Amino acid sequence: MSQISLSFPDGNSRDYPAGITAAEVAESIAPSLAKRAISANLDGRHIDLAWPIAESGAITINTMKDEAPALELIRHDFAHVMARAVQEIWPDVKVTIGPVRDHGWFYDFDRKEPFTPEDLGRIEAKMKEIIAARDPVRTEIWDRERAIAHYKGQNEPFKLELIDRIPEGEDVRMYWHGEWQDLCRGPHLQNTGQLPADAFRLTHVAGAYWLGDASRPMLQRIYGVAFRNKADLKAHLTMLEEAAKRDHRKLGREMELFHFQEEAPGMVFWHPNGWTIYRELEAYMRRRLTRAGYKEIKTPQVVDRILWEKSGHWEAYRENMFIVEVDEEGAKEKRTNALKPMNCPCHVQVYNQGLKSYRDLPLRLAEFGSCHRYESSGSMHGLMRVRGFVQDDAHIFCTEDQIEAECASFLDLLGSVYADLGFEKFDIKLSTRPETRVGSDEIWDKAETALEAAILKVRNDFEVDPGEGAFYGPKLDFKLTDAIGREWQCGTFQVDFNLPVRLDAEYIGEDGGKHRPVMLHRAILGSFERFIGILIENYSGKLPLWLAPRQVVVASIVSDADDYVRRVVDALRAAGLRAEADTRNEKINYKVREHSVGKVPAILAIGMKEVEAGTVSLRRLDSQGSRTLSLEEAVAELSAEAAPPDLR
């Protein structure tokens, strides 16, 4: 029997017969390790303990202490156990797919009757029975014909379609959890009893089209969350409760910021208060970009498909584009245009006007560009995922030698902006070439090397995300952490050697010859709509004074104070504050409660005592008490606080 060599994290290596399993490797190291083992990593690939190992490599044995592989297995096994529980309760239900997702999993079912909250309780109870049974998990590889015959016999049409989608030559792997069987790539735990029965929860049910295709059957998707222990589950559920309180859609209604309606799906109707936030954020970003050397431009929203074909977006992004057909006068056929889903090709057109010299580079072109992308109705979510949005987009045209400096200056700008907006922490991911891409491997090698060198000059605490780059170049993605620990991917920095070639961008080099510039795609907020949603949730609607749409309300306690209320409002407005009067015939406590629900940061209460003394009673949002200040002191304090962070 042939031998293979396996190396371990401590640097040692051992020889084993080819075909040995990771479970047997663990047993050879220590019986105690074998008992604690849940999976292994072989040359970085997560593998099942039961899979035979045919070739030499580097191996690591995982236990429940290894968070990432443990959570992947726990959540994947819970998906299978949930599907088994559903079919044990309702044998006629058809199963489809059940992938792992953030914090948990989902599984799609074909069932005539809708699942109810009571059903979720029944499923949870059945899952706990399955866990308590400690049923073994086993796996086999079947030939395609046997798998097809099996699922025909089981009357599982969705599984038959999944088999058709498995590429020829790829294994058709089967898993059993007890007697219940599923088509799955794995890996999985070794028995159902390894799942933490007190660390999962089924959360909700939603509709989902089969394979995300609106022309296919509508299924029922059950979502669940799972963790390694009860404490982590409790912390997550507490976070979800807090997130529900902070939901920007709920706060948007309470603060009268925006709304959506069926006549314009995925498009925002901004109300005066919401548009005030938008304009303040845009003005702030415009000042920051101007100081950083960007030149603002504006490009068309409707562009002929010819440009999208040249850029490569038509092939790579066509299904997400809104098409506009125009009957041009005298034309034999309609002219096909598209609402722009991104700004990049249009920015190259601006660059291409007039001959550029190396002395003109780097050239930083910025646009608050209005874009449209088709999102399915099921994927849209308030401001967080829309069809119409505005990007704080910019493209830097530079030489290869300037990439590192531009990356460093962008990171400084991005970090400063995030700090101004209340986000001190952000993580970076370096995403490399995807399977579907434009350009040669030589160009991609050059782009990835340049981007990695650029980020290493500034920071080395980044993760690599293989295969997740844009179709035209590798990228850095920036993830913010909000007040309750959630991550949001917002900013991006992308190195593109391909688009300048496809769209014929050039500059005259120091040698007098023509050269291609490098195009750096970058954004900080990502989209104004989504970022405003993130801001609302991060601050729970209690925005900093400079961003708050209604900064100060001056409320009368008695009607005799109304004239003074108006004078106070005039003084605040003269100082640049967004101030309004509330002289309604309502009690002051009612007014305070109402404006607190509207998240007004400062309320000035005015009674006859304040009128006679020329003072105001200042109450801050969520404060139990108030302070008495002279009108001049109140105006000075509030106007200083209301200054945007870049103007202080």
What are the tens digits of pLDDT across the range 594-635? 999 999 999 999 999 999 999 999 999 988 889 999 999 999
SS3 343: coil
398 annotated as a binding-site residue: no
Please determine, for residue 361, whether its predicted confidence score (pLDDT) is greater than 70: yes
pLDDT in tens, 406-420: 999 999 999 999 999
| Angle of helix 528-538 versus helix 230-246 axis, rounded to 10 | 110
Please determine, for residue 378, whether its predicted confidence score (pLDDT) is greater than 80: no
At 203, list the tokens.
């959360």
pLDDT in tens, 163-176: 998 888 888 999 99
| Angle of helix 117-133 versus helix 67-89 axis, rounded to 10 | 110
Please determine, for residue 333, whether its predicted confidence score (pLDDT) is greater than 80: no
pLDDT in tens, 73-96: 999 999 999 999 999 999 999 999
Distant-in-sequence, close-in-space partners of 452: CB < 8 Å, separation ≥ 6: 430
Instruction: Give yes or no: 344 in active site.
Output: yes
At 278, list the tokens.
């938008």
Catalytic residue among 76, 373, 387, 595: 373
pLDDT bracket for residue 443 (50, 70, 90): confident
Q: What is the mean pLDDT of residues 294-322?
A: 92
> Element (H or E) spanning 42, and its range?
strand 37-42
Distance, first Cα to last Cα, the chain: 75
Highest mean pLDDT among 111-115, 294-298, 452-456: 294-298
Specify the pLDDT at position 236: 94
Domains of the chain, with CATH numbers? 3-63 (3.10.20.30), 68-237 (3.30.980.10), 259-539 (3.30.930.10), 545-647 (3.40.50.800)
Q: What is the mean pLDDT of residues 441-457?
A: 86
Instruction: Give yes or no: 48 in active site.
Output: no
Specify the pLDDT at position 1: 61
State the Cα torsion 77-79-82-86 to the nearest 10°: -130
pLDDT bracket for residue 212 (50, 70, 90): confident
Catalytic residue among 395, 433, 522, 591: 395
395 annotated as a binding-site residue: yes
Q: What is the mean pLDDT of residues 476-502?
A: 92
Please determine, for residue 46, whether its predicted confidence score (pLDDT) is greater than 90: yes
The full DSSP string for 398-446 is E-GGGHHHHHHHHHHHHHHHHHHTT---EEEEEE---SS--S-HHHHHH
Instruction: Give yes or no: 457 in active site.
Output: no
407 annotated as a binding-site residue: no
Specify the pLDDT at position 456: 87
Instruction: Give yes or no: 391 in active site.
Output: yes
Where is average pLDDT lowest: 213-217, 402-406, 418-422, 535-539?
213-217
CA 144 to chain centre: 37
Catalytic residue among 173, 177, 248, 475: 475
Please determine, for residue 286, whether its predicted confidence score (pLDDT) is greater than 90: yes
- Report d(CA 114, CA 635) in Å as an integer: 58
Integer-rounded Cα Rg, in Å, for the chain is 30
Please determine, for residue 327, whether its predicted confidence score (pLDDT) is greater than 80: no
Q: What is the mean pLDDT of residues 339-352?
A: 96
> Element (H or E) spanning 609, and its range?
helix 608-613
- Report d(CA 98, CA 82) in Å as an integer: 9
Highest mean pLDDT among 74-83, 94-103, 152-161, 443-452: 74-83
pLDDT in tens, 567-600: 999 999 999 999 999 999 999 999 999 999 999 9
Please determine, for residue 379, whether its predicted confidence score (pLDDT) is greater than 70: yes
pLDDT bracket for residue 102 (50, 70, 90): confident
Q: What is the mean pLDDT of residues 409-434?
A: 93
- Report d(CA 280, CA 289) in Å as an integer: 14
Where is average pLDDT lowest: 147-151, 470-474, 508-512?
470-474
Please determine, for residue 471, whether its predicted confidence score (pLDDT) is greater than 90: no
Beta pairing partners, 508 = 357, 514
Instruction: Give yes or no: 94 in active site.
Output: no
Specify the pLDDT at position 331: 64
pLDDT bracket for residue 27 (50, 70, 90): very high
Catalytic residue among 344, 346, 398, 407: 344
Residue 195's identity, in one-letter code, is L
The owner of tokens 């605040």 is 572
Instruction: Calculate what percentage of the chain has a pLDDT beyond 90.
Output: 80
Please determine, for residue 330, whether its predicted confidence score (pLDDT) is greater than 80: no
Please determine, for residue 244, whether its predicted confidence score (pLDDT) is greater than 70: yes
Specify the pLDDT at position 312: 87
Catalytic residue among 393, 477, 482, 582: 393
- Report d(CA 312, CA 437) in Å as an integer: 9
Instruction: Give yes or no: 521 in active site.
Output: yes
Please determine, for residue 335, whether its predicted confidence score (pLDDT) is greater than 90: no
At 438, list the tokens.
């434009």
